[in-house]
C-alpha cells in the first residue's frame, strides 16, 4: 500500500514563473491537506480539500496560490509568479476521514527554491 | 483556538539517556494531540496520538507521551536514546471539530555517542 506521493521532490523556479506541486493521497483517502514549512519553523496549514471541493483555505495566501483536487488525478498546489519568499518545503497529507480525529499521513514533501 | 508550544528548539542527550521533549497546548475544546518525527529530507511520520482514551499513550520506536490536562501538557519521552532517534520532532493539536492541525515549531534531537 503506497503512501502519500508528492512530485517533484525538488523544484527550482525563477522569480515570476509558475510552480505546480502534485500530491497523490494514499489509496482510499479522500481528504487532502497542504502545509508549508519555512526554514526553522513548524508546518503551517494552507488548505484542506476533498474530491472536487475546497473545504478550508484559511491558511492560503489570498493571491497567487490556488489548489485543486479533481475527481480524477492528483491534488495540485499552484503558485503563480513565484517570489523568493515562496521558497519552502511544501507537504501534502491525506486522511481517510476528516482530520479532527483521524491520522494525517504525510508525503515526503516538495522543496521549492526560487532563484 | 488551538496552539502548541514546544519548549527547547534543540535538545541533546547521550546515547542510552532519557529523552524528554516538551509540548504544551492551548485549546478551547478537548484536544486531540499528536507527535510526529521528521528525518532529514523526509516527510512527517506519526509517532503516537492521544484522542481522549488512555492518558498514557505508547507509540512506535519505544516512545510514549502522557496527556496531563491540569498542566495542558503532552510531553514525549523515551527511556533510552538511540542514535537513530536523532531527528526533528513536532507536536500537533487538533480540535474535535474542524480540520486543521496546529504544529509546534519543532524540537531537534541530537544523540551523542
Strands B102-103 and B107-112: unpaired
Q: What is the DSSP string of A14-62?
A: -TT--EEEEEEPPTT--EEEEEEE-TTS-EEEEEEEETTEEEE-TTS-S
Q: What is the pLDDT of residue B57?
A: 93
* pLDDT score of A89 more than 60: yes
Of A2 and B78, which is predicted with more confidence?
B78
* Whether A100 and B98 lie within 8 Å, measured CB to CB: yes
Among A12-21, B32-41, B52-61, top mean pLDDT goes to: A12-21
- Would you call A57 exposed, middle or buried from its count of C-beta atoms within 10 A (0-12, 13-18, 19+)? middle
- DSSP E strands, chain B: 3-5, 10-14, 19-21, 24-26, 31-38, 44-50, 56-58, 64-68, 73-78, 87-95, 102-103, 107-112
Provide the shortest C-alpha distance from residue B110 to chain A (in Å).
16
B16-30: pLDDT as tens digits: 999 999 999 987 777
Q: Determine the average pLDDT of the residues in B43-70.
A: 90
Cβ-Cβ contacts under 8 Å, B9 against chain A: 40
Closest CA to A102 of A6, A25, A1: A25
Q: Does A54 contact B at CB distance below 8 Å?
A: no
- Interface probe for A, chosen from B28, B89, B99 (most Cβ of A below 10 Å), is B99
CA-based torsion, A78, A60, B38, A85: positive or negative: positive
pLDDT value, residue A99: 60
B105 at A interface, C-beta within 8 A:
yes
Amino acid at each position: 500500500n503506497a503512501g502519500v506521493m508528492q512530485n517533484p521532490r525538488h523544484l527550482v523556479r525563477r522569480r515570476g514563473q509558475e510552480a505546480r506541486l502534485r500530491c497523490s493521497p494514499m489509496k482510499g483517502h479522500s481528504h487532502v491537506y497542504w502545509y508549508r514549512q519555512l526554514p526553522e519553523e513548524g508546518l503551517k496549514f494552507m488548505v484542506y480539500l476533498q474530491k472536487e471541493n475546497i473545504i478550508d483555505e484559511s491558511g492560503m495566501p489570498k493571491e497567487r496560490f490556488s489548489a485543486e483536487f479533481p475527481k480524477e488525478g492528483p491534488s495540485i498546489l499552484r503558485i503563480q509568479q513565484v517570489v523568493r519568499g515562496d521558497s519552502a518545503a511544501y507537504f501534502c497529507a491525506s486522511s481517510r476521514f476528516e482530520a479532527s480525529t483521524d491520522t494525517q499521513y504525510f508525503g515526503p514533501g516538495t522543496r521549492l527554491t526560487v532563484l | 483556538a488551538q496552539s502548541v508550544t514546544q519548549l527547547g528548539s534543540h535538545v541533546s542527550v547521550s546515547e542510552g539517556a532519557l529523552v524528554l521533549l516538551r509540548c504544551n497546548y492551548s485549546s478551547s475544546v478537548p484536544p486531540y494531540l499528536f507527535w510526529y518525527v521528521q528525518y532529514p529530507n523526509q516527510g512527517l511520520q506519526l509517532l503516537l496520538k492521544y484522542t481522549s482514551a488512555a492518558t498514557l499513550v505508547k507509540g512506535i520506536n519505544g516512545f510514549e507521551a502522557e496527556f496531563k490536562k491540569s498542566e495542558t501538557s503532552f510531553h514525549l519521552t523515551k527511556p533510552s536514546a538511540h542514535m537513530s532517534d536523532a531527528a526533528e520532532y513536532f507536536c500537533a493539536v487538533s480540535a474535535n471539530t474542524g480540520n486543521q492541525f496546529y504544529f509546534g515549531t519543532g524540537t531537534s534531537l541530537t544523540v551523542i555517542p
